[in-house]
Structure 1
Amino acid sequence: MAIHIGISGWRYRPWRGVFYPPGLPQHRELEYAAHSFSSIELNGSFYSLQRPQSWRHWASAFPPGSVLAVKGPRYITHMLRLRDVDTALANFFASGVLQLRERLGPLLWQLPPTLRYSPDVLEPFLSRLPRDTDAALALARRRERVRMRGRASLPSQPRRPIRHALEVRHDSFRDPGLVGLLRHHGVALVVADTGGRFPHMEDVTADFMYLRLHGPAELYASGYPDDALDHWATRIRCWADGHEPADARSLPGVAPPPRIRRDVYCYFDNDAKVDAPFDAKRLYRMLASRAPATAGDG
C-alpha cells in the first residue's frame, strides 16, 4: 500500500520563478518536478498521440520508485466518445506508453461533460482496456501499420498489472449501476473535487483510489487552505487503511466495498495560480506527519 501525492502536468509558464527556481532552464523543469514528487500525472497524452522518444525521455527523467499516471487520449473519450475504439486504443498503446515500464501508474480516462451514462457504451469500452502489459502489447500489435510506421514501440518486459481510473463529468453518472459496473472491471471511480461544477462521488470501486483536486471553489484556479487539506488528508488516510469516511459522498443503495488496504493516487490540477505544487507538498507533509512509513514522497 502506498500513497502518492503529486501534480497534473508540469509545464506552466506562471510556475517559472515561483515554484521553479529563477533562472532554471525550461528543459530542466521536468527534472525538477520529477524529483519533487513521487508521482506526476502526464497530460500531454490527452491532447495528441505522443512519440516513443517522448515516452523514453519522460521515463528517464524520473528517479526509481516514481509512478507516472497517464491521461488517455481525448480522441477516444471526447471524439469517438468510447465507441469503435479498438484501433485508437491499439495506436495509443503502440505509441510508446509501455516505455514507462515499472514507472507506469494508472491510466486516467476523463469523459467529456456532454457524455451521458450509458452502460451499453461504457461496458464494452471497459472490457477492451488491457489489464496487464502482456495484454497491452497484444493490443498494440493491432495498430494501424501505415499511420504508426516509425512511431511505434512495443518493448518486451515482465508482465505487470495495468490499472485504470474513470473521471465522469455528467450528472447522469450518479447511478448505482455505475459502481457495480466499475467494480466488475476493477476500474477506480475518480474522486474529483471541482468546486461543485461536476459530479463528486466517493464510491470505492477498485483496490486503489484516484483523486483529482481541481480547486475547492474555482475550477483550476483556487487553492486549498489548511482545513481543506486536512479534510483530504483524513480521507486519504481512511481509504488507504481499508475503510470509508463516515460521511463519504457515496451513491445510495450501493454495497460497501471490501475492507482492504489500498494504494491512493492524488493529483492537484489547480495550476492557474501556481497553487498545485505547493498544495501537493503541504498535503504530503500532513500525511507524512501522521504516517511517514506509508506516504509516498511528495
Structure 2
Amino acid sequence: MATAHPIRIGTAGWSIPKPSAPAFPADGTHLERTARVMAMTEVNSSFYRPHKPETWARWAASTPPDFRFAVKLPKAISHEARLAGADAALDRFLSEAGMLGDRFGPLLVQLPPSLRFDRAVAEDFFALLRARFDGDVVCEPRHASWFADGADSLLAAHRVARVAADPAPVPGAGEPGGWDGLRYWRLHGSPVIYRSAYEPAALDALTDRLRAEAASRPVWCVFDNTAEFHALDDALATMERLRAPS
C-alpha cells in the first residue's frame, strides 16, 4: 500500500544504541546521531524542567531540515496547575521551545491519570493554547472520562489529536481520537510498561496500521520503552518494515 502522507518514527529522547543494535552513526552528539537515522524525536525533558532558548536553538541547528521534534508540555501546566491558570507558564514555555523554529513538530499534552474531563477547564485551556500556538497538538489523557463523545468533539474542535497509547491505561486509550488530521502513537512497552520490547508480530501489525492511516493523514509513532533500551531497536525495526514492499 502506497502512503500519501509521511510516517515519522522516533523515540522518547535521543536514544543511544545497545551493542546489539543495527549499524548506527558513531560520530557526533546523541542528537546528531539520532537525527541522521530517524525523522523525529520526542523531547520529554521539557516535562520536568525548562530549557534555555539557546538550548532549543542549538538542538534545531544540530538536525537536518526535515527533522522534527515533538515537544512535551511541562508538568507545571498539565499536572500541577491541571490546565487551569496556566497563561504565564504557557507563554514562557512557548517562547523558549519556539526557538526550534520549523523543527517544531507536535506539542504533546500528557494528562495525569487523576485528571477527569471537565469541559469548562478543557475548553479554556485549549482555547488559550490555540490563541498562542498554531502547530499540531496531541493530547494523551489517562482518565476514562476523556474517552467519550463530549471530550472527543472538544478536542476535534481545537484541532487536537488524541494519542493512541500502548498499554492502554483505560478502555479506548489504545485507539486514536479527537482531531483526525493526524495520528500519533506512543508505545510505552508491553506487557511490562517502559521495559518490554515489542514482539515481531506486534511490529508487523503496527506497520500495517501505520501504512493504512498514512493514506489519509500524517502519522507519528514514538517508542517510549526506554528503561531497558528497547525503544531504539523497535523504532529501527519498524522503519525497516516500512521500507519493505507492503
Please give the TM-score of this superposition, normalised by the length of structure 2. Answer: 0.90
- Structure 1 residue 277 corresponds to structure 2 residue 232: yes
Q: Deviations over 1:99-134 (max 9, x none)?
A: 211111000000011111111211111111136xxx
Whether the 8 Å CA contact 2:43–2:70 is kept in 1: the answer is: yes
> Tell me, what secondary structure is at the counterpart of 1:207?
coil
Task: Name 2:146's counterpart in structure 1.
Answer: 173
| Equivalences for residues 128-139 of structure 1 within 5 A | 128-130=128-130, 135-136=132-133
- Structure 1 residue 2 corresponds to structure 2 residue 3: no
Task: Name 1:155's counterpart in structure 2.
Answer: none
Letter in 2 for 1:282: A
Task: Name 1:122's counterpart in structure 2.
Answer: 122
- Structure 1 residue 188 corresponds to structure 2 residue 161: yes
Cα distance between partner residues in 2 of 1:236 and 1:93: 30
Task: Name 1:85's counterpart in structure 2.
Answer: 86
Q: CA deviation at 1:216?
A: 2.1
> Tell me, what secondary structure is at the counterpart of 1:290?
coil
Whether the 8 Å CA contact 1:108–1:164 is kept in 2: the answer is: yes
Task: Name 2:199's counterpart in structure 1.
Answer: 225
2:182 to 208, 211, 215: 208
Letter in 1 for 2:102: E
RMSD of aligned residue pairs (Cα, Å) = 2.1
Cα distance between partner residues in 1 of 2:87 and 2:22: 40
Cα distance between partner residues in 2 of 1:216 and 1:32: 27
Deviates further, 215-224 or 198-207: 198-207
Cα distance between partner residues in 2 of 1:61 and 1:19: 23
Q: List alignment gaps of at least 5 residues for structure 2.
A: none
Q: CA deviation at 1:174?
A: 2.1
Whether the 8 Å CA contact 2:48–2:74 is kept in 1: the answer is: yes
> Tell me, what secondary structure is at the counterpart of 2:153?
helix
Q: What is the aligned-residue identity percentage?
A: 36
> Tell me, what secondary structure is at the counterpart of 1:87?
helix
Cα distance between partner residues in 2 of 1:17 and 1:278: 11
Q: CA deviation at 1:197?
A: 3.6
Q: CA deviation at 1:202?
A: 2.7
Q: Deviations over 1:222-268 (max 9, x none)?
A: 11111101111111111111xxxxxxxxxxxxxxxxxxx20001000
Whether the 8 Å CA contact 2:15–2:232 is kept in 1: the answer is: no
1:266 to 221, 229, 245: 221
> Tell me, what secondary structure is at the counterpart of 1:178?
helix
> Tell me, what secondary structure is at the counterpart of 1:125?
helix
> Tell me, what secondary structure is at the counterpart of 1:224?
coil
How many positions carry a matched residue from both structures? Answer: 239
Deviates further, 282-291 or 38-47: 282-291
Task: Name 2:54's counterpart in structure 1.
Answer: 53
Label 1:128 to 1:237 Cα distance change in 2 as closer, same or farther (>3 A).
Answer: same
Task: Name 1:68's counterpart in structure 2.
Answer: 69
Cα distance between partner residues in 1 of 2:45 and 2:56: 11
Cα distance between partner residues in 2 of 1:284 and 1:111: 29
> Tell me, what secondary structure is at the counterpart of 1:210?
strand
Whether the 8 Å CA contact 1:165–1:190 is kept in 2: the answer is: yes
Task: Name 2:45's counterpart in structure 1.
Answer: 44
Label 1:11 to 1:237 Cα distance change in 2 as closer, same or farther (>3 A).
Answer: closer
Q: List alignment gaps of at least 5 residues for structure 1.
A: 137-160, 242-260, 292-298
Task: Name 2:33's counterpart in structure 1.
Answer: 32
Cα distance between partner residues in 1 of 2:178 and 2:207: 17
